[in-house]
Structure 1
Amino acid sequence: MSDTETFEIISYTADVVAVTPDGEVLLIERGWEPYKGSYALPGGYVDRGETSRQAAARELAEETGVRVRPADLRQIGTFDRPDRDPRGRVVTVAYLAVVPVGTPAVAGDDARTARWWPLESLPTLAFDHAEILRAAVGVTS
């Protein structure tokens, strides 16, 4: 390693695609920048001592009130495009949660609202969340 080599600071996050068997997905309206007022998947930063799977379950509960066991989350993939987040380099591991129809969602933490959307009529999503959603369920919006 040379004395001039530099390293990029990378943040680590987890996102959740929570869906119902009848074809709805849970989205939050972001309460702050970036993308304040836009819809996104529930998710956030992985805390010290936590796995991304644990963080995904925690963030889902904090932002929407929906509780799932970390073991019930299925990993979708890792999303690490360098420009996916305007705050800097952020790598996320995304998970799929299938929850019962009629599961209540209540906004919390940094979510302004939390609501179920039909997969066939979604709003424009923040970040690369449309790509994550496509990877999870084959949605083309």
Structure 2
Amino acid sequence: MDTGETSLAAAARELEEETGITVSTADLRQVAAYDAPGRDPRGRYVSVTYTATLPSFVPPMAGGDATAARWWPLDALPHLAFDHAEILADAATR
């Protein structure tokens, strides 16, 4: 998050920066906050996650510090780091 930015605003900004997909903050729904100690070996991180439903297919385009961006079927995901599989499972039930 940038200084003075909410997690909601950061989520919309990061989505656009990393994938080229633009959504309004009103279109984002919070899933949960993930804050378990040790969830990321790089350090102490708290993640607040959101979902958005797009009205039509939008192809993602990598930007920012993303080297690639693409859609994946939930039943064919590659290996995910840390607790990201738990995060996606929670988002899928919303």
Normalising by structure 1, report the TM-score. Answer: 0.63
Aligned with residue 112 of structure 1, among 43, 55, 67: 67
Query: 1:99 corresponds to which residue?
Result: 54
Report the number of matched residues: 93
Q: CA–CA distance in 2 between the matches of 1:108 and 1:65?
A: 7
Aligned with residue 85 of structure 2, among 111, 120, 130: 130
Query: 2:35 corresponds to which residue?
Result: 80
Query: 2:45 corresponds to which residue?
Result: 90
Pairwise CA RMSD of aligned residues? 1.1
Q: CA–CA distance in 1 between the matches of 2:12 and 2:82?
A: 20
What does the per-residue CA deviation read over 1:87-134, in whole Å, with 9 as the maximum and x for residues that have no partner?
Answer: 211011110111134212100011110000111111111231111101
Query: 1:49 corresponds to which residue?
Result: 4
Structure with the bigger percentage of strand: 1
Unaligned runs of 5+ in 2: none
State the SS of the aligned residue for 2:2.
Answer: coil
Q: CA–CA distance in 1 between the matches of 2:61 and 2:4?
A: 27
Normalising by structure 2, report the TM-score. Answer: 0.92
Q: CA–CA distance in 2 between the matches of 1:86 and 1:101?
A: 37
The list of structure 1 runs, each at least 4 consecutive aligned residues, that deviate by more than 6 angstroms after superposition, is none
Q: CA–CA distance in 1 between the matches of 2:78 and 2:30?
A: 24
Unaligned runs of 5+ in 1: 1-45
State the SS of the aligned residue for 2:79.
Answer: coil
State the SS of the aligned residue for 2:3.
Answer: coil
Query: 2:18 corresponds to which residue?
Result: 63
Q: Quote the sequence identity (%).
A: 61
State the SS of the aligned residue for 2:59.
Answer: coil
Supply the AA of the counterpart residue of 1:117.
W
Structure with the bigger percentage of helix: 2
